[in-house]
Amino acid sequence: MGDGALKLAKAVNLINQQRLHGLVIFSDGTCSIVRPSYLYYFSEFKPLGPRNAMVVSNAGDAALLVEPAWDSLRASRESWIRDVRGSSDFLKDLTNLIREFKITGPVGLVGSKDMIDDLYAGIQREVTITLADNIIEDMAKQKTEADLAIDRKAAEIADVGFNAFLEYARPGTLEYELVAHMEFAMRSAGADDIFILLSSGRHNTEMHHPGDRRMRQGDVVIAEITPVYKWQFIQLCRTVVLGKPGPVLTEKYNMLIRTFEESQKELKPGVLASTIPITMNKMISDAGYGEYCRPPYMRARGHGTGIGPIVAGVALDDNVRVPLVSGQVLVVHPNQYLPETGYLACGETFLVTDSGVERLARTETKLYINEE
């Protein structure tokens, strides 16, 4: 049984377990680091238009409805779904598909946060809606070899982006020129999309979209490097110093590295995700920076990415009392503003495994130095 047929069989089993008559998996076509793409995970098709949906019945019927209608040809090539239909009147076509599949009872809706009110109300006039993101999240807990290959390929692309960051972060380079080099390198390596935050200066207060500031000797250059490959985001948080760092900068970055390494010990199945930020905040507080362990000096100690119990957009903080499970992909970063050094970036993406954790990137988390 291929991956597509296996996904369909799992979905039908979960639909019937929850006593639903069918499932609607919706996407508004947005590729975002803060929202999981349930439709892409299930169909393996990256939508372009603002309204797209999979409909699956409890009997195993399945169809993919895409907008604009002409995009159905691309969808047929990319997705394993054999029944692909283009739409020029999405609500009408979606409700007709629900009727065609004889779905009359409650329907599980996945991706409701992406759906506008009028569309939600239109479906609700046809059938009873039950929110069912958990169905796809349950399916995604058990990663296939194909899923793992995507994770690792995305990490390879992130490493390519970091290597370009390290090469081109030099005095005289403009911030947006640096990002252009990074984006070119990652696109050439296969990235579908890219999200980068960056800042340069002697005392950074945050990371932001690149500007026209020209980097200078003595600058601390920080970045969140986040490529997307087949809708899997991988993030690296890196700091490069232009010139020899002073002893205070070295000392404070080493403190963050120790914090980062200690938190990694908590990355294993069954441990509450909140343990990670609690560990980080305690270590940084014990070093004398407790008042800086909350906004506006920092927001979170990482976040979910992809699909899983901790989905994309869920920030790692003391309130995320969700147990880690094997297969969870998680960004962990003790990124921190410190009064002596400014904001420093330090972090990785990890895959939780049965035996602990797998570090997905190959480039090392450390304070990098460009002395030329």
105 and 230 within one domain? no
168 vs 145, residue with greater confidence: 168
Domain boundary among 125, 140, 155: 140
270: region left, alpha or beta (phi > 0 left; psi from -120 to 50 alpha): left
Q: What is the mean pLDDT of the segment spanning 310-327?
A: 83
* pTM value surpassing 0.85: yes
Residue 32 and residue 70 in one domain: yes
Predicted pLDDT at 304: 85
CA 281 to chain centre: 23
What CATH number does the domain containing 107 carry? 3.40.350.10
228 and 106 both lie in a single domain: no
What confidence score (pLDDT) does residue 152 get? Answer: 95
pLDDT at 95 (0 to 100): 96
The CATH number for 203's domain is 3.90.230.10
Per-residue pLDDT tens over the stretch 190-219: 999 999 999 999 999 999 999 999 999 999
- Residues 301-338 as b/e (b if ≥16 CB within 10 A, e otherwise) read bbbbbbbbbbbbebbbbeebebebebbbbbbbbbbbbb
- Answer yes or no: do 229 and 351 share one domain: yes
H/E element holding 82?
A: none
Contact criterion met (CB below 8 Å) for 301 and 334: yes
Q: Are residues 198 and 230 in the same domain?
A: yes
C-alpha to C-alpha distance for 199 and 209, rounded to whole angstroms: 8
For the ranges 167-176, 333-342, 363-372, the lowest mean pLDDT is seen at 363-372
Give the residue numbers spanning the domain of 136. Answer: 3-140
> Within 141-274, where are the H helices?
145-168, 175-188, 247-264
181/211 same-domain check: yes
* Per-residue pLDDT tens over the stretch 67-125: 999 999 999 999 999 999 999 999 999 999 999 999 998 999 999 999 999 999 999 99
Name 32's Cβ contacts closer than 8 Å, sequence gap at least 6.
312, 313
What element of type H or E holds 304? strand 302-304
Continuous segment of H or E residues that includes residue 330: strand 329-332
Q: Looking at the 3D structure of the chain, how many domains does it have?
A: 2
- Within this chain, do residues 136 and 170 fall inside the same structural domain, yes or no? no
Domain shared by 32 and 156, yes or no: no
State whether 289 and 245 are in the same domain. Answer: yes
Last residue of a domain, one of 121, 140, 159: 140
Residue 265 pLDDT level (bands cut at 50, 70, 90): very high
pLDDT at 2 over 80: no
Q: Mark whether 19 and 57 lie in a shared domain.
A: yes
| Listed residues 140, 174, 207: the one ending a domain | 140
Query: Are residues 208 and 87 part of one domain?
Result: no
Q: With a cut of 60, say whether residue 1 has pLDDT above it.
A: no
**β-strands 52-57, 62-66 pairing:** antiparallel
Q: Rounded to a whole number, what is the distance in angstroms from the first to the last CA of the chain?
A: 56
**Cα distance between residue 21 and residue 25, in whole Å:** 14
Whether residues 71 and 159 share a domain: the answer is no
